[in-house]
Structure 1
Amino acid sequence: MRFGILGETRAWRDDGTELSLGGPARRALLALLLVRPGEVVSADRLADEIDPAGALSAHSLQSQVSRLRAALGPEAAIERAGAGYRIVVPHDDVDACRFERLAGDGRAALRDGDAGRAVALLREALRLWRGPALADLAESETAQAAAVRLEEQRLGALEDRIEGELRLGEHRAAVPELRELVGRHPLRERPAALLMRALFADGGQAAALAVYEETRRHLADELGADPSAELVALHHELLTADPSPSPAAPPAQLTAFVGRAEDVTEVTGLLRVARLVTLAGPGGVGKTRLAVEVAGLVTDDVCFVELAPLRDAAGLTQALLGALGLRENGLQMAAGGQAPLDRLIAALSDRVLLLVLDNCEHLVDQVAALAARLLAACPRLRVLATSREPLGIIGENLRQVRPLDADAAVQLFTDRAAAVRRGFAADPALVRRICAALDDLPLAIELAAARLRTLDVDDLAGRLDDRLGVAARGSRTADERHRTLRAVVAWSWDLLPESEQEAARRFTVFAGGATAASALRVCGADGETLESLADKSLLEVAGGRYRMLETIRAYGAERLDAAGELETVRRAHARHLLELLRAADPHLRRAEQLEWMPVLTAEHGDLLAALTWAVEAREVEIGLELLAAASTYLWIRGAAAAVAPQAIALLEVIGEEPPAGLGEEYVACVLLAASGAAGRPVWRRHRERAGQALAAAWPGARPGRYPAVLLLWVMRNVGEGDLLDAYTLVSSQRDCPDPWVRATAMYVLGWGNLGESDTAQAESFFGAALDGFRALGERWGSALALDSLAALAATRGDRGTAVALTDEAFTLTERLGALEDGADLLVNRGDHLAGGDVAAARADYGRAAALARRAGSSASLAAALRGLGDIALLEGDLAEAERLYGEAAEKLDPHWVRSIGNRVRALAGLGRVAEARGDHAGARKRYREAAESAAVMGGPLPDVLRMMGLPESVVEAVSTR
């Protein structure tokens, strides 16, 4: 039998049948006995608590006990004990006792770090509550005290459960409950602290700080007290946190800097007066280390770009964007946007920054052209380059980096040798001979010194002597920077046993380094071999990844080709990367997306290398599979344009017909090819076949292999004018078993209803999409749905809701690190505010423009300029409005769905300016252009224009043209 006092007093048999307990007196009697099962409660106290007025006699109490015994039956014994009664039942049969046990176990599990078990126990405990504790004893002092104790335990269990959920990453779902909890208990600090952590974990730093301020004010007003030290410490932590993306810093160095103090002083001084300084010299001479030391002394912001992993110039601009912490595309996934170079210039145009371009020699012509363009367009930018040869452009200040002088070389060798052999001491003349044999090159010296872990210094000197002739007799036609360093690398390589040589040459297929697991899998080596290669400086270990110096990697790649293993190992590398992408893909559409994105970002260079190999080797199947498996990651990260050249090249290999059985992969390839600046002709050529392949891959309600492809397809088709088939395809997925696909279908169908001017149904679909994405903890889709709902709210005049929804979407974009999307949302918020608070709207447009310049987004900057143009027109400044509208219209791509609304508004604004000046012909021309741009969205033109936020008078003017 089970008993309940957490709510109305109730009793159930084990089969779930509820017993009839009788009237209020009998339920109150049972509740009093169940507060402490097994303990005696005096008859006098029972009578007083049941009937405080004193009308319950001893005989009446005995009668109530008898009737209660009859109702409960033999399974629950109510015994007479001295001058009172007690109920004999197992403690776990009473919900209050079971709750206390489960809550205690849950708290212990939380304290032990087992958040999963803690949450399960606490949820089970809290489910036992059906209402206020001891509800049948409202006037009983004893019951009130017990109820207060139980309610306090309930609140503590609730807080423990939420803390456990936060530890498990369930931040988004916890926020509404925590807000309600803080509202009911404004003086309780723990819920406030949990809410602050939940908000910040989901990107809401400002909202978290606002919670602290409100709590502090409540404590001061109500209690005259300050927040606890713990809450103050949390506040300080939030104040000092920076969730925004920042430029890549120079790599941290693990060893002392030897022998370059004069060089550092000279280069630092040169950068004060020169805007381009190139550190030139042979490989291994220490150019990168010198650049790192100089960068550490400048007072400007520094962005360090490693160019060595790039195989060709196709990814050069994208590499700079990535180092600056910028995504290539915005959240809306539209294709055909601003060129990467234009975005890069926009991001750097007004910024004081030192850009360090490291290892330019293999792309020297392209780097020179890019540096010249950036320096001409960005007057506050300075560039420090390292290369084996000058860039050769006007304004370059060349600083030749030469080998170490004799004393510095000996000091470097001695320092590094002492690090691997305790108490190292050697004849300075012998050390000097070793360094001279290595041409005093820092890299060669470090490699040689590392060998002292297993060799004697005399043995080392003897082996070097055997190889002096190799360096001296190198081909006179070979570049000097190759002759000496090749000899050093070859010497170091030859000292490796065959098993380590095999692992090292196979490792060279990793363009961006590798985790230990990846290296072991692809190289066919064991952990001891990798550690030995790291000990001998053939590999470096940093941030949990193994990396190989580029000079050693180039030499090892030659050895891999000579061994006849190149194609086999590259294929194994590509297959391993494909397995990782497939394992990660489902998590990118769930709450774990923030956890998996950094994992895949670290593999980005290897993805590009694997795709390039697939194209060169004409491995169509694995190339398509790589692109499809990476598509969700690429679009969320905003890096689709980075793989566009490989996708286009792969389509050229494929020809006119998609390969059998790879229809969906082919569609992903077409979408990614279309994301680049050169993708539009490819899109036109392959669009029809891709649509057929997608329809075949998504029959009925059965999902395809790559759910993100369906959403990307529809979004890419918005500006094409014939969306019927795409919407029909999505509609078939409303009952798909995949919850992300169902949410996506709701989102897309919402846009379909907008095209039919059914705003009520559209809002219903967007709301369902938001619920679906939120249930999954998926921020990308949630931000899309919130932005759409905000637009609908603004259309019906509910500006407050529109602003609130936009703020929530902005919080998500901050968490995603999407500067471009943040700028667009600020423009949207400015549009929502412009009708009532012009000053606030102007501030949002101005802030959006600054953020867009930082992001390097021409489209977002144009949207902000369009908003400022609206304000200039409102204030009667026709010249300024015309300038802003004209600049915005010029920057906005008429074929990019993301830009259509702002382009229409800019063109309509130019029409309004012309009309205000009495230029009716000019106004008609501009209104006609606006109508033509808006028509691609489908649906009745007036309704489309209203959705774009145009005033009714302008809607009428454009619609009649």
Structure 2
Amino acid sequence: MRFGILGDTRAWRDDGAEVPLGGPARRALLALLLSRPGEIVAADRLADEIDPDGAPSAHALQSQVSRLRAVLGPEAPIERAGTGYRIVVAPDDVDASRFERLAREGRAALRDDDAGRAVALLREALSLWRGAALADLGEGETARAAAVRLEELRLGATEDRIEGELRLGEHRAAVPELRELVGRHPLRERAAGLLMRALFAAGGPAEALVVFEETRRHLADELGADPSAELTALHRELLSADPSPSPVAPPAQLTAFVGREEDVAEVAGLLRVARLVTLVGPGGVGKTRLSVEVAGAMADEVCFVELAPSRDGAGLPQTLLAALGLRENGLHLGGGGQTPLDRLITALSDRVLVLVLDNCEHVVEEAAALTARLLATCPRLRVLATSREPLGVIGEHLRQVAPLDAEAAVRLFTDRAHAVRRGFTADPEVVRRICAALDDLPLAIELAAARLRTLHLDDLAARLDDRLGVAARGSRGTDERHRTLRSVVAWSWDLLPAAEQEAARRFAVFAGGATAESAALVCGTDADTLESLLDKSLLELAGGRYRMLETIRAYAAERLDESGEGESVRRAHARRLLDLTRSADPHLRRPEQLEWLTVLAAEHGDLLAAVRWAVEAREAETALDLIAAATHYLWIRGASASIVPQAATLLEVIGEEPPAGRGEEYALAVLAAASGAAGRWVWRRHRASAEKALTAAWSGDEPGRHPVVLLMWMMRNAGEGDPQGAFTLVASQCDRADPWVRAAARYVSGFGPLGAGDTAEAERVFAAAVAGFRSLGERWGTALALDALAGMAGARGDRAAAIALTDEALALTESLGALEDGADLLVNRGDHLVADDAAAARADYEKAAALARRAGSATGRAAALRGLGDLALAEGDPAEAGRLYGEALELLDPHWVKNIGNRVRALAGLGRVAEAGGDHAAARARYREAAESAGVMGAATPEALRAMGLPEPVVEAVSAR
């Protein structure tokens, strides 16, 4: 039996049937007993609660206890004990006790910095409340004290939950609740502090400061006190903070900059008048360090892009998008037919920016083509490149980076030697001889100086001279600059013991560095060996990850291939990435989503390298497993385009039949390849096999291994002429045990009744999807379903609800860093606002256009243009409206599901423009096109068209076609 005292007193049997408790006296008696389940409550207290105005009566109390026993039965016995009574029930059977336990666990999770788990626990705890605590008790002292204690716990749990939500990035959604909370409790400093943080993070620093001032005034007026030290410190923090996101900054340097001060001034000056400056010189000469110092001297915004990890020149646009903080895709699947280069041009078209492209030499052709295109289309952009050879672009200004002069080389060696050997002193002539033997290359000097930790200076000089003599007699076909650097690396390498050489050459498989655990597993080494390589400058450690300088990594890769163990090490590397992505995948559907996205983002370069190796090595099963395991992460992060070429190549190797036991993985590879430039061809060739495999995986008693495939399959098929099979397959998963699968299936199944015109059922199902996603703390799914609910609310005319739901979805997408999704939701909010506040709608459309431009999203920009077209038409300017609608249609891919709603609205808008001009034949043609586009998703009913946001006259015109 379950009991509730967080509201009126109630009891339910295990089958859900409510127990009739009787009158107020019995309810009060039960409430007081349940406030301390299992503990003895004195008889006089109980009697006083039953009749607070009369004399305590033992007989009356016994009578009420007897009646209550008869009602509750043996499931909840009430025992006489000593001078009182107690009810024998488990604490968790009472909502108040369960609330207190969940609230404690939630607060503990918050202290442990597990915000996702904390929010889930605290939401569950607060959902138990149905009204005022102990509502059936009277005004007795015992009753009042118990109720006040519970209400205080409720308030604290509410604050804990909101703090957890703020840690998860849900700032905008928290603001309305916090405003109401602060209004009811103006002296509660914690609530005020939370509201200040939420407002500031949501882009309202001025409002946050107003909250502080109002709280300070309330404290002074009512308590004669000043704000606490914590709230005052928060006030100072907000005054000095910068909420604006920034592109990747130049890496912070740990050592002093020696010998190139004049070079910095010269290059910075050249970059102010030239749009492309390339620093050229041999490896190890200090091009990267010089570019970092020049970037720091620039007044304009700088984005630093490290190209060394990029092995595929075709992926450079994605690399630049990531460095700018832009995602390939966002909340929904697909890229709207726009290439990464198109998005990059859109994002940079009017931005004042200095773009630093570091280490272009291994992708020089692709880097040159990309740079030329960006400079031609983005007039306010300037580029500083580093490379071992010129880019060869018209207008390029070359700046040769020479080795250090003699004095600077000695100073650099001495500075780095002091770092590894305290009190270092040496004959300047010996130091100069070492530097000269190293051609005064900064990297070589730093590596040599690091050896002084274990070698005497004279020993170092002797070994270095010998090694350089051998290396100088190497192949004449090798570039002289490369031979010089190879001599330095070979010398450093040969000083390593065999175990360290083995670990170092195996480490070369890591494209983006590795954690100590990954390095140990893949390299077959231990922590001591890694630390020794770190000490000897063969590895560096940053952000908890070991990394290898790229020049050293290239040398180590050659040694790996020569050793004959390259394939086995790369296979171990791929297996490690597969294990990691498989382990992470379920967490992406839980409250810890953001934490695991960060973990996988750090492994992104290695994940792509593992996929590329598996495809090139024709390890088809491994490649399929990697693509499948990584799909959910890549989708949420917006980087799914990065595996499109590998997925397409893999399908060519596999053919049209999946390997045994990997049908679901095959379907995911098909979906990935179908989102690329050759997507229509891939889809026609492989769709039937993928559908068969997917149906087999998700039609049995056991669910498939990759739940994300359900949403991907629906989104890809929804834009086809006959999507019903895909909708049916996904919607049939509503009874699965996995809560994420159930929520996703409910979301998809809501489109069935929507297309059929049953909006009430559609809204019920979408709400169930929201509840399912929200209970998991899953931001992406929650935002997706909230957006659908907002559309439903707008369709029935409840614009206030639509706006509130859209605001909540916006807050969630902001926590995921989704510029493109933010643009999409701002357009939706503008559509809800336009009827009541055209100025606010215009502001949302214009902000959406700006965000879409930053994200390089043609789809987002088209949606904003369509909204502005609606405004122009409403304001009596059909010519401007027609221009905006036409421009929007040019940007919208008619085959992508996300574009269907805006395409229908733009076509309908052109129909209205034609009607306004008296061209009824053209109007009918446009309405017919709109109806055909709407019919792709089964949105043939007036109700479904209204859910797309079409005004009533347009709904009537379109549905009539």
Same fold (TM over 0.5): yes
Aligned partner of 1:84 in structure 2 is none
In structure 2, the CA distance between the partners of 1:788 and 1:49, relative to structure 1 (3 Å rule), is: closer
Counterpart of 1:680 in structure 2 is 680
CA RMSD of aligned residues (A): 4.3
| 1:77–1:89 Cα contact (<8 Å) kept | no
- Equivalent residue for 1:76, pick from 50, 61, 81: 81
TM-aligned CA deviation for residue 347 of structure 1: 0.3
Corresponding residue number in structure 1 for 2:576: 576
**Does the residue aligned with 2:571 lie in a helix, a strand or coil?**
helix
For residues 68 and 677 of structure 1, the distance between their equivalents in structure 2, rounded to whole angstroms, comes to 78
The alpha carbon displacement at 1:469 in A equals: 1.5
Alpha-carbon separation, structure 1, partners of 2:457 and 2:246: 45
Distance 1:19 1:511, change over 3 A: closer
Q: Match of 2:354, SS?
A: strand
- Deviation of 1:839 (Å): 1.1
Contact in 2 for aligned 1:187/1:218 (Cα 8 Å): yes
Match of residue 221 from structure 2:
224
**C-alpha distance in 2 between matches for 1:130 and 1:957:** 47
Q: Which moved more, 1:909-918 or 1:679-688?
A: 909-918
Give the Cα separation in 2 of the matches to 1:791 and 1:455: 72
* 1:257 is aligned to 2:285: no
Render the CA deviation track for 1:380-405: whole Å, top value 9, x for unaligned.
Answer: 11100000011111111111000000
Matching residue of 2:424: 424
Code of the residue aligned with 1:186 in structure 2: it is H
- Aligned residue in 2 for 1:187: 186
Q: TM-score when scaled to structure 1?
A: 0.87
Q: Which amino acid aligns with 1:832?
A: H
Q: Distance in 1 between matches of 2:945 and 2:36?
A: 67
Aligned residue for 2:544?
544
Match of 2:477 in 1: 477
2:319 partner SS: helix
In structure 1, the residue corresponding to 2:249 is in which secondary structure? Answer: coil
Matches within 5 A, 1:153-168: 153-162=149-158
Distance 1:50 1:149, change over 3 A: closer
> What is the rounded CA distance, in whole Å, between the counterparts of 1:590 and 1:244 in structure 2?
28
Alpha-carbon spacing, 1:10–1:158, altered in 2? closer, same or farther (3 Å): closer
Query: Residue 647 of structure 1 contacts residue 669 of structure 1 at CA under 8 Å; is this kept in 2?
Result: yes
1:767 counterpart letter in structure 2: A
Question: Once the two structures are superposed, what CA deviation does each residue of 1:684-727 show, in whole Å capped at 9, x if it has no partner?
Answer: 21111111110011114532000001110011111111112112
Structure 1 match to 2:498:
498
Structure 2 Cα separation of the partners of residues 120 and 783 of structure 1: 16
What secondary structure does 2:708 align onto?
Answer: helix
User: Aligned partners of 1:247 and 1:582: how far apart in 2?
Assistant: 30
Unaligned runs of 5+ in 2: 12-18, 70-77
Q: How many residues align?
A: 932
Q: Show CA shifts across 1:396-422 (max 9, x none).
A: 111100000000000000010110011
Cα distance, 1:330–1:458 mapped onto 2, change above 3 Å: same
> TM-score if structure 2 supplies the norm length?
0.87
Partner residue in 2 for 1:623? 623
User: Any conservation in 2 of the 1:76–1:88 contact (CA below 8 Å)?
Assistant: yes
The residue identity in structure 2 corresponding to 1:528 is D
CA drift of 1:294 comes to 0.7
In the TM superposition, what is the alpha-carbon distance from 1:912 to its structure 2 partner?
2.9
Pairwise CA distance, 1:611: 1.0
Change (3 A) 1:207 1:281: closer
Q: Is the 8 A contact 2:615 2:623 kept in 1?
A: yes
Partner-residue secondary structure (3-state), 2:379: coil
Change in 2 beyond 3 A, CA 1:51/1:878: closer
Partner of 1:721: 721
- The percentage of counterpart residues that share the same residue type is 66
1:83 — aligned with what?
A: none
Contact 1:107 1:160 in 2 (8 A): no
- What are the superposed Cα offsets for residues 648-671 of structure 1, whole Å, 9 maximum, x if unpaired? 111111122211111000011011
CA distance in 1, matches of 2:304, 2:620: 35
Cα distance in 2 between the residues matched to 1:209 and 1:356: 35
Superposed displacement of residue 312, structure 1: 1.7
**1:199 to partner: Cα distance:** 5.4
Quote the residue 1:878 is aligned against: 878
More divergent stretch after superposition (940-949 vs 431-440): 940-949
CA distance in 1, matches of 2:90, 2:781: 45
Are 1:119 and 1:161, in contact at CA under 8 Å, matched by a contact in 2? no
Question: How far apart are the structure 1 equivalents of 2:26 and 2:707?
Answer: 58
Q: 1:950 corresponds to which letter in structure 2?
A: L
Hey, what does 1:14 align to over in structure 2?
Answer: none
1:620/1:408 CA distance change after superposition, 3 Å: same
Three-state SS of the structure 2 residue aligned to 1:247 is: coil
* Residues 218-255 of structure 1: CA deviation (Å, up to 9, x unaligned): 87579736755533544554676666653111111100
> What is the distance in 2 between the residues matched to 1:540 and 1:493?
15
- Report the CA distance between 1:822 and its aligned residue: 0.4
Secondary structure of the 2:317 match is helix
Distance change >3 Å, CA 165–CA 462, structure 1 → 2: same
CA distance in 2, matches of 1:673, 1:688: 15
Distance 2:387 2:583 in 1: 39
Q: Structure 1 residues 808, 243: CA separation in 2 closer, same or farther (over 3 Å shift)?
A: farther
Q: Please show how residues 193-592 of structure 1 align to structure 2 within 5 Å.
A: 193=192, 196=195, 205=202, 217=214, 220=217, 224=221, 228-234=228-234, 237=237, 245-592=245-592
How far off its partner does 1:875 sit?
Answer: 2.0
Residue 127 and residue 763 in structure 1: after superposition, are their counterparts in 2 closer, same or farther (change >3 A)?
closer
3-state SS of 1:901 partner: helix
Conservation of the 8 A alpha-carbon contact between 1:750 and 1:761 = yes
| Aligned AA (1:774) | R
Once the two structures are superposed, residues 235-279 of structure 1 have per-residue CA deviations (whole angstroms, 9 ceiling, x without a partner) of 554676666653111111100000010100001111111111100
Does the 8 Å CA contact 1:5/1:34 hold for their aligned counterparts?
A: no
Q: 1:600 to 1:105 in 2, by over 3 A?
A: closer
Residues 90-135 of structure 1 show CA distances to partners (whole Å, capped at 9, x for unaligned) of 9999999x98998999599959956899999999999999997888
Shift in Å, 1:198: 9.2
Instruction: Give the match for residue 694 of structure 1.
Output: 694
Partner of residue 798, structure 2: 798
AA at the equivalent of 1:350: D
The equivalent of 2:72 in structure 1 is none
Deviates more, 1:823-832 or 1:223-232: 223-232
1:846 alignment partner in structure 2: 846
Question: In the alignment, is the contact (CA less than 8 A) between 1:336 and 1:674 conserved in 2?
Answer: no
Q: Which moved more, 1:278-287 or 1:869-878?
A: 869-878
Helix, strand or coil at the partner of 1:385: strand
Distance 1:68 1:346, change over 3 A: closer
Alpha-carbon distance in structure 2 between the residues aligned to 1:434 and 1:637: 48
Q: Is 2:803–2:829's contact at 8 Å kept on the other side of the alignment?
A: yes
SS at structure 2 position matched to 1:386 = strand
Structure 1: which 5+ residue stretches go unaligned?
A: 12-16, 79-86
Q: Tell me the secondary structure at the aligned position of residue 299 of structure 1.
A: coil
Alpha carbons of structure 1 residues 735 and 236: separation in structure 2 relative to 1, 3 Å: farther
Deviation sequence 1:445-500 (CA, Å, 0-9, x none): 00100111110000000001112322432333221221100111111111111100
Report the Cα offset of residue 950 of structure 1: 2.6
**CA separation of 1:488/1:90 partners in 2, compared to 1, >3 Å: closer, same or farther?**
same
Match of 1:752 in 2: 752
**Alpha-carbon distance in 2 for matches of 1:128, 1:956:** 46
Partner-residue secondary structure (3-state), 1:455: coil
* Distance in 2 of aligned mates of 1:564 and 1:806: 57
Whole-angstrom CA distance in 1 between matches of 2:757 and 2:100: 53
Q: CA deviation at 1:836?
A: 2.1
2:905 and 2:930 in contact (8 A); partners too: yes
Measured in 2, the distance between the counterparts of 1:335 and 1:498 equals 49
Instruction: State the secondary structure of the residue aligned to 1:424.
Output: coil
Query: Which string of whole-angstrom CA distances, capped at 9 and with x for unpartnered residues, describes residues 501-552 of structure 1?
Result: 0000000000111111110110000001001111111111101111111111
SS at match of 1:296: helix
Report the counterpart of residue 860 of structure 1 in structure 2.
Answer: 860
**In the TM superposition, what is the alpha-carbon distance from 1:800 to its structure 2 partner?**
1.5
> Counterpart of 2:16?
none
Deviation string for 1:625-670 (max 9, x for gaps)? 0000001001101111111011111111112221111100001101
CA distance in 1 between partners of 2:569 and 2:617 (Å): 13
Task: Say whether 1:783 aligns with 2:788.
Answer: no
Structure with bigger gyration radius:
1
Q: How far apart, in 1, do the equivalents of 2:931 and 2:22 lie?
A: 73
Name the CA shift for 1:922/1:550 in 2 (closer, same or farther; >3 Å): same
Residue 889 of structure 1 and its aligned partner are, at CA, apart by 1.2
Distance 1:487 1:314 in 2: 32
State the shift of 1:734 in Å. Answer: 1.0
